[in-house]
Amino acid sequence: MKKELRTTEGAAPIGAYSQGLVVGDFVYTSGAGPLDPQTGEVVGDDVAAQTHQTMRNLGAILAAHGLGYDDVVKATVHLQHLKRDFAAFNEVYKSYFNQPYPVRTTVGSDLMDILVEIDFVAHKSA
């Protein structure tokens, strides 16, 4: 059984997908980018600012199910400019977590007018 997560505190989907799904004790988020939840506009013109907004959007989706960043077990990250932006992205990203950090895959991707997109798998501990 799956339950959709939706919040106006995170950027609205721009296609045929849910912001997040609850499946058992797990929450899966869609890939989120640096969009302002109110305007739908891209926030920031560098990867650090865009990563902060992306993390805020994902945090809002997690919060819709009573979860936080420490509940994240897996992240997949897409960077428009992997080599150029990895260090700046990583500094912002790690500031949202405590150790042990979630497992993560980070790849370079051709993104649609944004510099970063991230999705999470989170687990609701008993």
Yes or no: say if 121 and 72 are a contact pair by the CB < 8 Å rule.
yes
Structure-token pair, residue 11: 């950027």
Q: For the chain, what are the domain ranges?
A: 2-123
Query: Is the pLDDT at 86 greater than 60, yes or no?
Result: yes
Contact yes or no for 21/28 (Cβ under 8 A): yes
> What CATH number was assigned to the domain covering residues 2-123?
3.30.1330.40
pLDDT bin (cut points 50, 70, 90) of residue 13 is confident
pLDDT in tens, 27-47: 999 999 999 999 999 999 999
